[in-house]
Chains A and B, each alone.
Chain A
Amino acid sequence: MLGYYMLGYYIDLAWRSLRRSPGLTVLMVLAIGFGVAASMTTYSVFRAVSGDPIPWKSSQLFVPQIDAWGPSSRDSNGEPPDALTYTDAMALVHAHRAKLQSAMYRISPSLVPGQAGQHPINVSGHAVYGEFFPMLDVPFLYGSGWSADDDAHQAPVVVISGELNQKLFDGANSVGRSLSMDGKDYRVVGVMDSWNPQPRFYDLASSANFNAIGESVFIPFERGIAAGIYNSGNTNCHEPRTGPGFIGLQQSSCVWISYMALLDSSAAVSQYRQYLDGYAREQQRAGRFHWAPNNLLRDVPAVLDHQGVVPSDTRISLLVALGLLVVCLVNTVGLMLAKFLRRSGEIGVRRALGAPRRALYAQFLMEAGMIGAAGGALGLLLTGVGVMSVGWVFRPEIAALARLDWSLLGITMVLAVGVTLLAGVYPTFRAARVQPAWQLKSN
């Protein structure tokens, strides 16, 4: 009861004190607001480009790499190619050693809408296996992915994005309807809810890291191969191809297929590693590889880190913004010291009248907290402006990610109050040490 009463009293005292020196108060609030806003704006960009796209599962999703090129093409780290050859990808698919797995390659077929009068459009997507959808927890609006049976029979089925469904079928449940891609008919089996993970972690080897627009179509891998839908992602070759066209690419040692496997325990991971090494040794015995196995099996966070998906200058600007926050802290310490020590007389009187040091701590920290809250409010406003201008100047694929959301607002406020309280600790300590007798005498 007493505590509650005193709290109100401290708020009142703090308010009076802040009003007594409005200049200094405004300076502090401005400094904290500016500092916090600049840091948070930079942080929002950083968060946008470094976020884990699938945090609940990323450490169970693995990308295998098999060295199909040998020592002559390795870089100084001995890194094998970042994608697979068709031969190796098919071997992994057929061995099926993971709980869920999918080989995949990027496609961009031309799509002719069913209705007359609409122009053909170019769409982007991936050719994948049916296990791709449950493995990556792809959300569906209607229907679902396809079965292993569909994979085996090269079924002409397609999963489309909600946006494409809106465009082609006006958002109605289109499961069972058909559309024409590269001159062939496909039956819609599923419509995805909005799904555009950033970065596009399932195929970093082949896709631009950040994409403003999600992918529109997914078709069965074997269907894509059979229908000759060409790879539209990266193709890297170590030696000239032996034959022309898509068939030539499949027979070549070029790498162009991405692969992902779900391994849910450390035992499963080590078993998979053993399997990969066993496979490479087998290839060595068969005379296809002339080198010892050099495989890699990284989980998604490790792949993101290795690929350097986070632009290094974003990290640097975050450092600069942190520096700014430190300067704000130092600045606030100085200003608060000035503010609190200016009231030595008042402190002396309160101490002489019997206020314990604890009470002074409570009073001054309350004042610091109020300054912090005001700075935070200004910071929120400026962060909003900052994030909006990020959307204005950055490329849309990054700008779309830098968003103002509740967590960002929350962090801004907590940071502002936290930093100010931290800055208030030393000035409060100094203020509480004021000797009452000396102050009373000098007045």
Chain B
Amino acid sequence: MDILPIFSALRRHKITALLVILEVALTCAIVCNAVFLITQRIDRIHMLSGVAEHELIDIQISPISATTDSVPRMNEDLAALRQIPGVTAVASSNQLPLGGSSWNAGIKIARDQKESTLNATTYYGENMLETLGTQLVAGRSLLHDDFYDFDAVVKAGSTSDTKNMPKVAVVTQAMADRLWPGVSPLGKELFMGDNIPITVVGVVAHLVRPSFSDNAVAEYSMAFPIRMAAGRYVIRTAPENRERVLAAALAKLKQLDPKRVVLKKQTWDQVREKFFQNDRAMAGLLLGVCVALLVVTALGIVGLGSFWVAQRRRQIGVRRALGATRRHILRYFQTENFLLATIGIVLGMAMAYGVNLLLMVHYELPRLPMMYLPMGAVVLWLIGQAAVLGPALRAAAVPPVVATRSV
């Protein structure tokens, strides 16, 4: 196909050709970046949690007035919950992965270190790691003898009595890799606030925090041997038993102490769903805008294509009369669109890169991976060709006899 005649024809329609190029370029730039944002959201939504996803139930209760016997009451509750048929594990915890509010601490790796190396969340509760279903990859889990009561620890903290303070912890692989890159974390010491060392005795593969906005720190979690009666129970059971166990657990808790308020009762799947709801919504919103953008661009190409075909009816007739086949005419318009789209795409790639730089500076977004650019190009080429097909077919249908008519 000879493209020189196309260029000379386009030179007579500079403005309209430029408008098509500009439209394709803008669309390319925006769609590349928007799709990148969408995939980031999707990655986040599918993030590994490290827990037994479909097997957990979360119940939160609060006593009506402050009680003094919270630990015995908790033990009584836990024993009763364990009795429910189908329950495989129970723990009382201070927080739940992806549960929202969290307990965090600044972690240091040397005595008298001025600033914390990182901020990590702290999970409390006996049997918590086992109930959540985390996977131990090195060392050991927390044992019964490691544990201290929360109130005793607070009291010990105020008197600097190191005897009643936890001495060991289990950390995630992500946290260990950040604190001691390339070295086994087992036996290493870490510090929180005061200068009392805590020895790392175990590493779990994954355990996500209750809340985070930056994915990079999502797995900075540790489990601490502190027994806590915060009124939050995590129950593990087979997925098909969850509804039944939840109902039985609520009935049991009510029976043990009717003067309590149930604050939350949910499966962990619901917790996860709620946590990522806004991410899903944002991805949906961006997807909607992208689709609208591509539709508008396609409509523009259809419109201008039709205009050009109508304007050149006479020339098309002349070409047909001089021996050009329908196929030639069709190819002409398809090639024309391909050329315009290509110029637009090249321009659009540069713009996509620029927009990404801008977003990186202002919104701390990562760099746009190169693979998005060819993908954007292919999408726009396809849309351009699809949009121009209708007008091009109409052009091909122009009969040669048009050349003989005066208007």
Residues of chain A whose beta carbon lies under 8 Å from any beta carbon of chain B = 23-24, 27-28, 30-31, 34-35, 37-38, 41-42, 45, 72, 110, 112, 119-122, 182-183, 228, 230, 237-244, 248, 311-317, 320-321, 323-324, 326-328, 330-331, 333-335, 337-339, 342, 386, 389-390, 393-395, 398, 426, 430, 443
Whether A27 pairs with B23 at a CB distance below 8 angstroms is no
Across the A-B interface, the 4 shortest Cβ-Cβ residue pairs: A338-B307, A331-B300, A334-B19, A393-B281
B404 at the interface (CB under 8 A from A): no
Whether A38 pairs with B289 at a CB distance below 8 angstroms is yes
B30 at the interface (CB under 8 A from A): yes
Residues of chain B whose beta carbon lies under 8 Å from any beta carbon of chain A = 15-16, 19-20, 22-23, 26-27, 29-30, 33-34, 37, 62-66, 114-115, 151, 154-155, 157-158, 193-194, 259, 261, 263, 274, 277-278, 280-282, 284-286, 288-289, 292-293, 295-297, 299-300, 302-304, 306-308, 310-311, 359, 363-365, 407
Whether A386 pairs with B64 at a CB distance below 8 angstroms is no
A120-B259, A241-B157 given; name 19 further pairs at CB < 8 Å.
A30-B295, A31-B300, A35-B296, A240-B157, A240-B194, A313-B282, A315-B363, A317-B37, A317-B286, A324-B293, A326-B26, A327-B296, A328-B296, A330-B22, A337-B19, A338-B307, A338-B308, A342-B307, A386-B288
Question: What residue of chain A has the Cβ atom nearest to residue B293's Cβ?
Answer: A324
Complex CA distance for A430 and B65, rounded to whole angstroms: 79
Complex CA distance for A305 and B268, rounded to whole angstroms: 34
Complex CA distance for A323 and B286, rounded to whole angstroms: 12
Complex CA distance for A14 and B289, rounded to whole angstroms: 31
| Chain A contacts for B274, CB-based, 8 A | 395
Whether B292 pairs with A34 at a CB distance below 8 angstroms is yes
| Chain B contacts for A398, CB-based, 8 A | 278, 281
| Chain B contacts for A23, CB-based, 8 A | 303, 306
Using A122-B261, A182-B64 as known contacts, say yes or no to A394 and B278 having CB atoms under 8 A apart: yes
Among A45, A314, A337, residue most surrounded by chain B Cβ atoms (within 10 Å): A337
23 A/B residue pairs, CB under 8 Å, sorted by A:
A23-B306, A34-B295, A35-B296, A37-B292, A38-B292, A38-B293, A110-B64, A122-B62, A122-B261, A228-B66, A237-B193, A248-B158, A313-B37, A317-B37, A320-B33, A320-B286, A320-B289, A324-B30, A324-B292, A333-B19, A335-B303, A335-B304, A390-B281
Whether A324 pairs with B193 at a CB distance below 8 angstroms is no
| Chain A contacts for B295, CB-based, 8 A | 30, 34
Complex CA distance for A394 and B282, rounded to whole angstroms: 8
| Minimal beta-carbon separation of A18 from chain B (angstroms) | 14
* Secondary structure type dominating chain A contacts: helix
**Which one of A38, A327, A335 lies within 8 Å of B26 (CB-CB)?**
A327
| Chain B contacts for A30, CB-based, 8 A | 295-296, 299
Question: What residue of chain B has the Cβ atom nearest to residue A108's Cβ?
Answer: B62
| Chain B contacts for A37, CB-based, 8 A | 292
Whether B263 pairs with A122 at a CB distance below 8 angstroms is yes
Whether B26 pairs with A24 at a CB distance below 8 angstroms is no
**Which one of A28, A45, A326, A330 lies within 8 Å of B303 (CB-CB)?**
A28
Question: What residue of chain A has the Cβ atom nearest to residue B27's Cβ?
Answer: A327
Using A35-B292, A398-B278 as known contacts, say yes or no to A327 and B30 having CB atoms under 8 A apart: yes
Among B20, B154, B289, B407, residue most surrounded by chain A Cβ atoms (within 10 Å): B289
| Chain B contacts for A321, CB-based, 8 A | 289
Whether B297 pairs with A244 at a CB distance below 8 angstroms is no
| Chain B contacts for A45, CB-based, 8 A | 285
Complex CA distance for A18 and B292, rounded to whole angstroms: 24
Whether B296 pairs with A331 at a CB distance below 8 angstroms is yes
Whether B303 pairs with A27 at a CB distance below 8 angstroms is yes
Using A120-B259, A120-B261 as known contacts, say yes or no to A443 and B284 having CB atoms under 8 A apart: no
Whether A320 pairs with B303 at a CB distance below 8 angstroms is no
